[in-house]
Amino acid sequence: MDGADQHGASGSSSQSFNFSSPTMQNQIHELAKTLPPPRKQNTACDACRARKVKCNQLPGQDKCQHCLSKNYPCTHFIQQATTEKKRNAAAAKRPRTLSTSSGSGQPSTSRIGPAEHMAPSVPAGPSHSYQPPGVQFAQPGLVPPAHPITTDTQTRDLLAYIFSPPESGSSNAHANGSASRLATPTPSAYGEWGALAHRLNEENFRIEFALDLVEVFFQIVHSRLPLLNPAQFRTRLHYSLYSTGSQNGGTSPNTPPGSAVAQQQRTRNSSSPNGGQSTHHPEQKPLHPALVATVIAWGAKFSEHPLFIADRHRNGGQSAFSKVLINRARDLAEYMKVHRIPDADHVVIALLIEPLQSQSMEDNAGFHGFWLGSAIRLLLDLQINHKSVMSEIRDPEARGTMIFAWWMACLADAYRSVYYRRKPMLDDDDYDIDFYTVGPVPPDIIESHAPQPSPREQLEFLVRISSNPPRTSALAQLLTIGPESCDQGYYRAAHALARIARQMSRQLWRPATESDGIPIDVLITFMNQLNEWRDEHLQHVGVPSNFEAEWDFVSAVTACASDATYHIMWIILYNALDDFGIREVNDVTRTGTSETLLPQHAQIEDKKRKVMNEALHGALRIAGLAGVLATNGYLKLDCAVMHVSCIQAGMLLAKLGRPEVVNCITGLEQYAYAYEECADQAAEIKRVYSQALNGEQDANHMSSVMLRVGGGGDGGTIGSNAMNVDQPMFGFS
């Protein structure tokens, strides 16, 4: 009885609160109508928030109605910053798991920041530098706490850090960037850098030495990487070096008392930009310390200063001082969070550091694409890939720098991916900005004593000029070509080839291709694309048969690099075929069937033979270009633009036992002046060439079409297209 009552009560209770019944659902629905709508806080996009208009975003759309009508990027950075601020505040309250000090009082971090090199100073005011929690820059021992390097640090104090002596008793260049420096180092502390390095202890010499390295950068590196405005950089550097007080109007903590007289004397120094005349300098924005350090490190790479000559003489032909400057520039950039904070200066610094380092993939401290990847991420964070954002940059110089930086990063990402068998970071639909263009210059200005075009303009308008110009010079024709007629500019051709390289990377460097092989239709597609690019662009941006004598260094090296970049694509395609094979052939051979029974066997062998011939022709062409540039001594001054081409072409020629490999070896040995790893690569090519001469040829899937040592194959075609490497084709002015 009781059980029945309980059962009945339970049943009535469940029936009263049956949420699945239609009656209850209708009641809940009607009740929901009477409730106030949920309040949406902080959901407006940045554009609507700035213009104080209603942000209405329809379901399923990526942009709100206002941004769609105005073609604005619909971003929510302010909203994200508001929510992240709460999360970061909560995270800061949590206890840290890493301690900054041990029981002995020594820092637990194995790597010391650039502040270790600064001279001891009095406590300074509030600093704008970011110091992560748990990292202290207190020097152990008797040395008082050092002043950290910030964007407000005086350039003279920055030079004191950059040119501080190496760590005593250590020749490891990578460890030199983290050595403690006393306030007044002794001359003997510089002994590892040669007989003249002790002069770096003198401030006046450091300033003159830094200015000399900056000029080397603009004479050699800037012609290939024109990311800076030379006049603007020099003006800001001189202002920060010769003006009194700190760069932000205060007093430098490392400037000794009574130095105002010395600073005024430096202002009247003959090395000042006014030639010794005292004048009032307008207020200048200080240069980023990491940018100054990077420019100086680049200058040290190619400098012929007596200090570097003595350093190379002491260290077996390599500059230990230059390596330290490179590592310190990189360490300073990391310390100042260049790779993390979106800023225009940080983009330029990252793009300049990437080719500055060792280009060997086996080098742990070398080229791994980190700084290139950082530059691309910074550009994407700044939305430089959006045409609408670029159009909002009013300063022409800043806009031109960012557009040039974008295309430099875009091309470098594509070529690096195909060179080093990596997936590219960017894709074709990741950007919509136009090519870098310069408006046409009126002829009356050209015929006057106007300055010559900048390296950016020369790169953009690198087109063939008629050999019989009517009454105007070649320079005048080069400048009067407008963007609408510059269909064969350097960037247009380079971008077209970069898109092919990007497609090759995504198809060739994936696990399925490595295990199964390259599909024959994919191979044919790449061959057709390379042939089409050659027919459309190579004659305009490559090296012509009759090189104009009035072409300068920029045009000459750019044309050689464009020519070599195209031909290396065939070598890369050959190496991929040799390593992976054709998928259709691999499928048949795995079953134990002969590949000759394939219906496509003749077509496949024909395509393999054509790739072999094109790769050999490309290797001979690159060897010829390397021989010409090495004869003029230009590879000694190149920023690692053609070194990959020399390595790939040299290795193929060495495997085939071709004597033209000596040009690639000579070119790499000349590269070793600035990139010491190239000497090891040249030695490896010599070893492979020696094995090939002894009959030890290394071939896998391409063995059926591989030309033997001394073999001709389609030699008539290859020989007629190969460059004459014995005599230089042209001279450079």
pLDDT digits (tens, 9 = 90+) for 526-577: 999 999 999 999 888 888 776 555 556 667 777 888 899 999 999 999 999 9
Q: Which residue has the higher pLDDT, 17 or 666?
A: 666
Average pLDDT over every residue of 679-683:
93
For residue 608, being part of any structural domain is answered with: yes
- What was the pLDDT predicted at 114? 47
Given a cut of 90, whether residue 377 has pLDDT beyond it is yes
pLDDT level of residue 232 (50, 70, 90 thresholds): very high
Q: How far is CA 229 from CA 224, 236, 379, in A?
A: 13, 11, 19
Q: Which among 55-69, 339-353, 445-459 has the top mean pLDDT? A: 339-353
Residue 14, number of CB atoms within 10 A of its CB: 9
Contact of 641 with 561, CB cutoff 8 Å: yes
For residue 512, being part of any structural domain is answered with: yes
Q: What is the 3-state secondary structure (H, E, C) of 194-244?
A: CCCHHHHHCHHHHHHHHHHHHHHHHHHHCCCCCCCCHHHHHHHHHHHHHCC
Q: Which residue has the higher pLDDT, 385 or 722?
A: 385
For residue 379, being part of any structural domain is answered with: no
Contact of 438 with 461, CB cutoff 8 Å: yes
Instruction: Tally the C-alpha atoms within 13 A of residue 85's C-alpha that lie toward its C-beta.
Output: 6
For residue 380, being part of any structural domain is answered with: no
Q: How far is CA 416 from CA 94, 339, 369, 433, in A?
A: 41, 19, 8, 22
Contacts (Cβ under 8 Å, ≥6 apart) of 384: 347, 390, 402, 403, 405, 406, 433
Determine if residue 142 is left, alpha or beta; phi over 0 gives left, psi from -120 to 50 gives alpha, anything else beta: alpha
pLDDT level of residue 25 (50, 70, 90 thresholds): low
Q: What is the per-residue pLDDT across 462-487, written as a single tens digit (0 to 9) for each?
A: 433 333 333 333 333 333 333 333 33
Mean pLDDT lowest for which of 130-139, 212-221, 523-532, 582-591? 130-139
- What was the pLDDT predicted at 28? 64
For residue 373, being part of any structural domain is answered with: no
- What was the pLDDT predicted at 218? 94
Percentage of residues in the chain with pLDDT exceeding 90?
37
Mean pLDDT lowest for which of 50-54, 195-199, 718-722? 718-722
Q: What is the per-residue pLDDT across 158-200, written as a single tens digit (0 to 9) for each?
A: 999 999 988 654 444 333 333 344 345 666 778 888 888 888 9
pTM, two decimals, is 0.70
User: Distance from first CA to last CA of the chain, Å, rounded?
Assistant: 115
pLDDT level of residue 12 (50, 70, 90 thresholds): very low
* Domain extent for 599: 504-694
Mean per-residue pLDDT over the chain, rounded: 74
Mean pLDDT lowest for which of 138-152, 210-224, 243-257, 355-369? 243-257
Residue 70, number of CB atoms within 10 A of its CB: 13
**Of 384, 378, 388, 391, nearest to 63 (Cα)?**
388
For residue 96, being part of any structural domain is answered with: no
Average pLDDT over every residue of 409-430:
94
For residue 485, being part of any structural domain is answered with: no
- What was the pLDDT predicted at 546? 66
AA identity, residue 234: R
Average pLDDT over every residue of 2-6:
48
Q: CA 375, CA 369: separation in Å to the nearest integer? A: 10
Domain total for the chain? 1
Contact of 372 with 416, CB cutoff 8 Å: yes
For residue 620, being part of any structural domain is answered with: yes
